[in-house]
Structures are given as structure tokens and as C-alpha cells.
Amino acid sequence: MNKTIIVSNRLPLQIKIDNNQLQVKPSVGGLATGLKTIHQEGNSLWIGWSGLTEEELNSDLSKQVKALIKKEKCDTVSLTQNDLENFYYGFSNRTLWPLFHYFMEYTEFENTYWDSYKAVNQKFADAVLEHVEDGDTVWVHDYQLLLVPKLIKDKKPNTTVGFFLHIPYPSYEIFRTFPWREELLHGILGADLIGFHTYDYQRHFLSSVKRILRLDVNFNEITYDDRVVKVDSFPMGIDYNKFHQSALKQKKEEKSELQKRLDDHIQSSKDARMILSIDRMDYTKGIPNRIRAFEYFLNKYPEYKEKVRLIMLAVPSRSNVPQYQLLKRETDELVGRVNGQFSTVSWTPIWYFYRSMPFENLIDLYTSSHIAMITPVRDGMNLVAKEYVATRTEQDGVLILSEMAGASKEMNEAMLINPNNFEQIADTLKQALEMPLKEQRSRMEILQKRLKRYTVEKWAEEFMKSLFATKNLGAVIIAK
């Protein structure tokens, strides 16, 4: 029976060493949920890094990790501290991440990083090649593994390979600056189907293929060697029911401490309103812009002082990369500046949390906030915007969303803003605060309907369906 192999940088598992004892739990992230059906049913294997380096695992623990992971139908790729520094923090997060998000000034082109990226991609491909057989299907994920599709296809041409990019694909003018552009494109083109969140990313990719490799592109198909490579967009959804049902359930249960504090603010006056933002602490998420726009709003519309509060949850991320440390410092200073300028004895305009929160508290934040203000300067999709909508069980609330997030392409009923235009954000915030309930509901209803239909499971299913269709298309071409 043919297998499906999923490959991603991290496994869908949380692994901890407690008192020299290993604990393995399935993780609850979007990707793990979306691929659950494919992974659990049928003959499938997930290959990725466990999250523990070779140095952290002595050989006994290493064997145990392999065995425990095997039970979850996974296999690990072993990474050293040096791999982590050069491949992960280096090439993935100091070269590809900033470049693909249009942060040219943060992009570092370092040969050491590139060499490590090639070597680690080879490690991932080798782990796949250990298991893959003719007729199997392999689905590779994201920017850390762009060379893997070709490394598999070259060795095993009779497999079907899919690739999905979770971040934006930049325009040709940005991508052409990349020193190893040909090699990277050839790496991706090892796949039979290449998926992006939006049509724009797809278009940018095709343009790079045409102009850099001078290949024939016919609508969304590329003729490559004797194969046809298909490129398409698959906007990723969320586990709608999980968020919606959790919001309904939490209303009936005993309130958390956080919920009690949120209620205190809401009940402090009939005009009290809460505005929410949740992101990883990342320079692509537009956190400083958002604080500056909120400051601008309080200056322009002083009647909202003591009534609105911005609740900002920033989850620590990649904190050993210098730009992330600078961003953290800038955010701390800006929050301090706004709170210092506007706070009164009974009101603090920004509640700022720099930590991760349990899922229940995320739901408390989503369900208690009148407005979600999501302002990335670039974002492949942005699932937080979708999660906020799914938790609005009364269909009230307003979503303010950056037009630079992939999600904006399918969320037209949100209030779309340019994250660099403070005037527009401030005015939109005012409009959102004053929006009649009827209008909030009519917008929310359409947004919810769409999210309910195109869930993360559906996303995975559509990609796989298209991948199988590509496989058949390949067979036709070869037969000709």
C-alpha cells in the first residue's frame, strides 16, 4: 500500500525532558490539526526535527526519542547546535524570512548559512529517502525546506511530491536580489504541485520562474524537464469548530482569573471597550505601528480616553536573533511611552503581555474583545484574524485587518487598513467602535460562513486532491 509522508521543520509533537525522563505529547497547532486526518488515517509518516539537539540528547535518550516518536507515526531528523545556529536562526530566519517578507535591510547573505541550509535540507531529504518507495506521496512544508523537493525527486522520480509555502512569496524585484536564486527555484520545482496561500504569491513565483529560469509557463503550469509542475493557491483555514465550541463552552464554565479582570474593565462603564491584538513578537506583525496608531487615535479622539483599552499579547519568538531583541526593546519603550502619557489612576490604555498563554486564556481574550486589530506589515496568511471571527458566538465584534495579510484576500467584510497609514487606522478604529450592532452581525455572519466551509481540514484535503490529480496529469504527459 502506498504511503503519504509529511515533512516539516518541526514535528507535530511537544517533547520535554523531565528528570531525565522523556515526555511526548501531540501538539495542537494549526498544521497538526489540518493534517490530522491524513496523518492518522491510512498509511502515513511525519518527518521533522524533534526540538531537541543532538547535544541535548545522550545516546540513550536519543534512542528513546526515536522509539516514542515512532509510536506517533513520526520519524526525526537529528540536528546539532551548529545546524540550529546556521540553518535555522541563520539562513531560515536571517535570510529567507526577512527577504520573503520584504525586509531587505534585515536580510543577511552569508555563505556559512547557505552551506548549512543545503546540508540540513539534505539531512531531511535523506530521512525521507530512507522510507519513501515508488508510488508514495510526499508533502513538504515551508521555507526551511525549499531544496527538499528536488533532492527527493532526483533520487526517486516515481514519487509524487507536493510543496506548500506558509509565508509570502515576494515579487520578482525582491527575489532577484537573492544570490542563490536559481538553485532555490530548482529546489522547489522538484515538486509536482506547489501551493501558496494566495494568488498573488503564486503569480510572483511564476514570474520568478519565467524571468530567472526562462522556463515555459502556461497559465499555472510549468514545463520542467519532462514533467509538468502545477502551481496553485490554497488559502489555509482554521479548526473552526474547535474555536467556536470552546467559546460556547467557556461561557458556561467557572471564570478564569483573566476573564474576571477582563469583565471588571468591561463593566467599569457602559462605554468601556476592548481592542485585542495577538501575535508572535515578530517585526513582520506591525506591533510598533499598531501602538503608534493607537497613540495617534487617543490624541485625535480624546473622548475615548478612559474608555478603550488595547490588550496586546506578544508571544516570545526567535529571541536570540538581534532584530527580534531590538523589536522587543522598541515595543517595551512604546508601550511605556503611551501608558506614561495617558494613564490615569483608574485606567491604563495598553495591557501588554509578553508571554505565551494557555488556550483557555486565548479564548477569554477573543470572546471578551469588541474589536480585533491585526496590523501586520506582511503576513503569509494570519490565522489569528480567523480565530477571532470563529469565537464570536453572538456574531458581534469588528475585525480590523491589514491588507498586507494573506487573510485579507478572503475577508473582505473585515475593515481593511494599510498598516502604515496611522490616520486611516485611527479613523477605522473610531468607525469600528461606533459600528451599529446590525452591521457588525451582517459582516460577521458572512465571515463565519466562509470560515466554516473552508476549514484547515478542507485545506489539506483540497491540496491532496490536487496533488493526486497532478500525479495523473504527469502520467498522461509521460505516456504521450
**Is the CB of residue 414 less than 8 Å from the CB of residue 400?**
yes
- Binding-site member from 92, 160, 375, 382 for ligand ADQ (CB under 6 A): 382
Q: What are phi and psi of 131, to 5 degrees?
A: -110, -30
Minimal distance, residue 378 CB to ligand ADQ, in Å: 9
Q: What share of the chain is helix, strand, coil (3-state, %, to 5)?
A: 50, 20, 30
Minimal distance, residue 161 CB to ligand ADQ, in Å: 19
63 half-sphere exposure, CB direction, 13 A CA radius: 2
Query: What SS3 class is residue 320?
Result: coil
Interaction of residue 349 with ligand ADQ, rule CB under 6 A: no
Interaction of residue 242 with ligand ADQ, rule CB under 6 A: no
Minimal distance, residue 264 CB to ligand ADQ, in Å: 22
Q: Are strands 44-49 and 160-164 parallel, antiparallel or unpaired?
A: unpaired
How far is the CA of 106 from the CAs of 2, 99, 283, 375, in angstroms? 43, 8, 10, 20
Interaction of residue 30 with ligand ADQ, rule CB under 6 A: yes
- Binding-site member from 12, 34, 170, 380 for ligand ADQ (CB under 6 A): 380
- Nearer CB in complex with ligand ADQ: 210/242: 242
Strand partners, 137: 4, 160
**Is the CB of residue 150 less than 8 Å from the CB of residue 186?**
yes
Minimal distance, residue 243 CB to ligand ADQ, in Å: 9
Q: What are phi and psi of 186, to 5 degrees?
A: -60, -40
- Binding-site member from 295, 379, 413, 457 for ligand ADQ (CB under 6 A): 379
Interaction of residue 235 with ligand ADQ, rule CB under 6 A: no
Interaction of residue 384 with ligand ADQ, rule CB under 6 A: yes
Minimal distance, residue 480 CB to ligand ADQ, in Å: 36
Interaction of residue 280 with ligand ADQ, rule CB under 6 A: yes
- Binding-site member from 65, 278, 334, 425 for ligand ADQ (CB under 6 A): 278
Query: What SS3 class is residue 12?
Result: coil
**Is the CB of residue 19 less than 8 Å from the CB of residue 13?**
no
Query: If phi over 0 gives left and psi between -120 and 50 gives alpha, with beta otherwise, what is residue 397?
Result: left
- Nearer CB in complex with ligand ADQ: 380/397: 380
Task: Give the interface size with ligand ADQ as a residue count (CB under 6 A).
Answer: 18
Minimal distance, residue 62 CB to ligand ADQ, in Å: 28
Minimal distance, residue 278 CB to ligand ADQ, in Å: 5
Q: Which of 30, 85, 19 is nearest to 321 (CA)?
A: 85
- Binding-site member from 295, 387, 410, 457 for ligand ADQ (CB under 6 A): 387
Under the rule (CB under 6 A), what is the footprint of ligand ADQ?
Answer: 30, 166-167, 236, 278, 280, 313, 315, 356-357, 362, 379-384, 387
